Structure 1
Amino acid sequence: MPHNQAVADQEPWWIANYRGRGPHQRYGHHNHAKTHRTVGFFIQHMGLEPGQAILDLCCAFGRHTHEFTRRGFHRAVGVDLSSDMLAHAASSAGTDGQRPRFLRADVRALPFRDASADAVVMLRSFGFLDTSEEDLDVLKEIARVLRPGALLGMDHFPPNSAMAKVGTRILKSPEATTTVHTTWDPATARLNSRMTTRYQDGRVEPFRSSSRLYTPEDLRMALAQAGFTVHETFGGYDGSALCKDSTRCVVIARRT
């Protein structure tokens, strides 16, 4: 087994996959119109206002944090565990003299006071941990830092979205080509992927990932255990209703 594969298999994939410049080469090329639409959606449906303290958890390249800042939310903070991804996020130019704020932290132990945040968004990052108990701990920690009555905005893929990803597919960016082989384990409700990326400079790196996909009802129950009530649900950022065939589950939950 190659050394880098052995190292990657010894630590959580959500740490191993986001080191160095590879993540930006694989994933760092985004549709700015989608980012604009996503942030606008949460501003509208969460009733967010400039001046509020907003946490963008698992912010990765910080594109949503940047967009919040561009729109005048200067107390928005992007939080992620990957120092490499945060370095890239912080190196991006600010808007109108305002640079976004970023902080390295684990979402299970956020360095914020109780009830100090006015809103939290966490997009496409729930279900990464090994157990449902650990996932619940994340929600409880978010509840701790949110003031009572404040809102959490989440974006999650329900299990019926898994079938669209099962099999082998090729993902291309300007700097890399990634082959992804994905399987679905109904017993654990996890989507498991093995990936190989070939970069333009000839480097080849293996990766893996494993995410638990929660049904909307299971997600609602987990939120309730953590101290939230679901305020609204949607099947996408077009505002469509969440239904049994939805391949995306957007949730806005209120801290009780």
Structure 2
Amino acid sequence: MTQHGPHQPSAPDEEPWWITNYRGSAYVERYGSHDAATTERDVDFLVSRLGLRTGHTILDLCCAFARHTRELTRRGYGRTTGVDLSQDMLRHAAATAEAAGERLSLLHADVRDLPLDDGHADAALLLFNSFGFLDTPEEDLDVLREAHRVLRAGGRFAMDHFTPHPNTIAMGSRSVRSGNAHTAQDVTWDPVSRRLNRETTTTYGDGTTETSYSSVRLYTPDELTGMLQAAGFRIDAQLSGYDGRPLSADSSRHLVLAHRP
């Protein structure tokens, strides 16, 4: 097993963690049974606050196993597409939906280079802390620039992100048990790179294990809104979560609503 210290950019011949972490089934074992009521609450909020209509073209960026894509599609938002770079996550999303007699629109793509025309979408979502993955802030900014490009004028954008709150950066060790596996996760904070680093070991019922590593840069609310503005967005609201509470100095999560002017 590779030992990871402070985050280092991937070597040219080494695949980055945001490729390897989403292979296989370990990520699904950690989060695949995510509380359905939480997803429904998220979508209730987004539909209301973004003014989504069933005819809108909606992009769920970095969708992983597409729980928000699926909930929106179930509700009649049939022009919703889940976008992700992981083929395994998209296959899992499609198979799970098909088993329930549902069909999803899914797109395999890098969110920095979407195969979509300018102004393609009415709304774009970047949820569940799916930001800050890349090696540099400029690369992270490319994600926001691309989200801005594919939105029409007036198109709405929502994203949520952990803040470098004391409760977030002091997560320590924790474990999650699913029906098929046990996951142990060691979470550390690197104050120099300002990245939250996770080393995760998933042990399956047959005794086999998978170990993965992830590293997410955390931005303060001021930094994140500054990046959104640099990408061309206009900020509409800053909240501490899907319950609609205002953002405060004690918020561990930053939910931003914005639009393309």
**The TM-score by the shorter chain falls in which range?**
over 0.9
Contact 1:77 1:101 in 2 (8 A): yes
**Deviation at 1:97?**
6.7
Q: AA paired with 1:24?
A: V
Structure 2 letter corresponding to 1:52: H
Per-residue deviation at 1:93? 3.1
* Percentage of matched positions with identical amino acids: 52
Change (3 A) 1:183 1:120: same
Task: Return 5+ residue gaps in structure 1 as ranges.
Answer: 3-7
Q: CA deviation at 1:194?
A: 1.4
Correspondences of 1:16-35 after superposition (within 5 Å): 16-35=20-39
Partner residue of 2:6? none
* Distance verdict in 2 for CA 1:198–1:146, change over 3 Å: same
> Which of 224-233 and 18-27 deviates more?
18-27
Q: Which residue of 162, 173, 176 maps to 2:178?
A: 173
Counterpart of 1:160 in structure 2 is 165
User: Is 1:83 paired with 2:87?
Assistant: yes
Give the RMSD, CA atoms, in angstroms.
Answer: 1.9
Seen in structure 2, the aligned counterparts of structure 1 residues 187 and 66 have a Cα distance that, compared at 3 Å, is: same
Q: Provide the C-alpha distance between the structure 2 equivalents of 1:89 and 1:126, rounded to a whole number of angstroms.
A: 20
> Structure 2 CA distance, aligned partners of 1:234 and 1:78?
24
- Which of 224, 241, 247 is equivalent to 2:252? 247
Does structure 1 retain, via aligned residues, the 8 Å contact 2:197–2:216? yes
| SS class of match (1:214) | coil
Equivalent in the alignment of 1:183: 188
The answer as to whether partners of 1:69 and 1:95 remain within 8 angstroms in 2 is: no
For 1:194 and 1:183, locate their aligned partners in 2 and report how far apart those are by CA, in whole Å.
9
1:192 aligns with 2:197: yes
Separation (CA, whole Å) in 2 of partners of 1:97 and 1:50: 20
Contact in 2 for aligned 1:151/1:254 (Cα 8 Å):
yes
Which position in structure 1 is the counterpart of 2:56? Answer: 52
Q: How many residues align?
A: 251
Contact 1:154 1:251 in 2 (8 A): yes
Structure 2: 5+ residue runs without aligned partners?
A: 3-9
Q: Deviations over 1:221-246 (max 9, x none)?
A: 00011000110111111111100101
Superposition deviation, residue 102 in structure 1: 0.5
Indicate yes or no: 2:217 matched with 1:212.
yes
